[in-house]
Amino acid sequence: DVVMTQSPLSLPVTLGQPASISCRSSQSLVYSDGNTYLNWFQQRPGQSPRRLIYKVSNRDSGVPDRFSGSGSGTDFTLKISRVEAEDVGFYYCMQGTHWPFTFGPGTKVDI
């Protein structure tokens, strides 16, 4: 199975400051169709996860533009340009290239 690792696992942040989460996969996530199925999810306390970014860098509708995704191959990053209070929660990367699809362990973001 593809192992997804995230760092850091805990990220204390300051409101208004940038934050960055790294995600690495044990294999390349480039699929045979040329797409890279690396997604990012946010899970706020007591809520279901919500997708923020799909295929590395595509931001979902309604997601603030302070969130951005980048990377390629096996190395990916989620960035928050200016952290706001509502960004507190867990962030998970997930690969949808190799079955079984797998999630990273999650990064806890708190103020």
Q: Establish if 107 lies at the interface with another protein (CB under 8 A).
A: no
Considering only 49, 63, 88, 108, the residue that binds another protein (CB under 8 A) is 49
If the CB atoms of residues 69 and 104 are measured against another protein, the closer one turns out to be 104
| Cα 43 from chain centre | 11
Is the CB of 76 or the CB of 92 nearer to another protein? Answer: 92
Contact 22, 37 (CB under 8 A): no
Q: How far is the CB of 17 from another protein (least distance, A)?
A: 26
- Residue nearer to another protein on the CB measure, 16 or 48: 48
27 closest CA partner among 36, 17, 16, 14: 36
Contact 9, 107 (CB under 8 A): yes
Do β-strands 107-110 and 10-12 pair in parallel, antiparallel, or remain unpaired? parallel
Within 87-106, the residues that bind another protein by CB under 8 A are 92, 94, 96-97, 99-106
